[in-house]
Amino acid sequence: MQQLAFVRPVVFSEKQIVRALTKGSVMALNWKKCCLFSPSLICFDLCNLERDVHLLDASGIELLHVDILDGHFSPSLPLGLETVRQLRQKTKLQFDVHLMATANENFVDELLDIGVQQLIFHVETEPHVDNLLNKIKSRNVRAGVALKPGTPVSVLDCISRNAIAESVGKLIALRECVVKSA
């Protein structure tokens, strides 16, 4: 019988994160690790995204969490596809994308063309979850699903579950990661 381990991330202040990053902490990207440090682009200074991404590059961070919101599924609309496309050209960071949209088809092909390494979408908005997972995986991109708080947990390897969808800037502090262990 498999057990689920619930892991809550530790919340750091901006000063603590900058201090850790400037000390040159290095994390080799290994998707099999139980915990990956993936700073969320949505919490960056949106007027200085390129500078902040270059700081991450220089610090040894390899994975960037990118939230894409459509303004309907989630009420905020801070980052567009053009911003992600431009950042992709300016960094070698791997992009871990969390798509929060009611019409995934409006975003998935373009995100795959941009060159993301992981794409997670909400199971509540996709009538054919298996088709979309297969489409993403056919492009050699890691695929996953996220759940809203009211959605029951099913048998998945990893789940990104948001506690408060309306408070976008606070999502990183409230996200749970459920990992299946043998």
CATH number at residue 161: 3.20.20.70
What is the per-residue pLDDT across 78-95, written as a single tens digit (0 to 9) for each?
A: 788 999 999 999 999 999
pLDDT band at 146; cut points 50, 70, 90: confident
Number of domain units in the chain: 1
Q: Is residue 17 part of a domain?
A: no
25/44 Cα distance (integer angstroms): 19
Q: Is residue 41 part of a domain?
A: no
118/63 Cα distance (integer angstroms): 10
The H-assigned helical ranges of the chain are: 14-22, 49-59, 81-90, 108-114, 129-137, 171-174
**Average pLDDT value for residue range 130-140:** 94
Report pLDDT for 30: 52
Q: Is residue 24 part of a domain?
A: no
Q: Is residue 108 part of a domain?
A: yes
134/112 Cα distance (integer angstroms): 13
Assess whether pLDDT exceeds 80 at residue 6. no
- pTM of the shown model: 0.68
Q: Is residue 91 part of a domain?
A: yes
Longest CA–CA span in the chain (Å) reads 49
What is the per-residue pLDDT across 49-80, written as a single tens digit (0 to 9) for each?
A: 999 999 888 888 888 999 998 888 877 767 88
CB of 160 closer than 8 Å to CB of 98: yes
Q: Is residue 44 part of a domain?
A: no
Report residue 59 as tokens: 């610090």
List the domain range (segments joined by +) for residue 65. 3-9+49-181
Q: Is residue 59 part of a domain?
A: yes
Which of helix, strand or coil describes residue 68? strand
The residues, ordered by sequence, that sit 6+ positions from 176 with a Cβ below 8 Å of its Cβ are 6, 7, 8, 159, 161, 163
Q: Is residue 28 part of a domain?
A: no
117/39 Cα distance (integer angstroms): 15
pLDDT band at 35; cut points 50, 70, 90: low
Point out which residues pair with 69 in neighbouring strands: 100
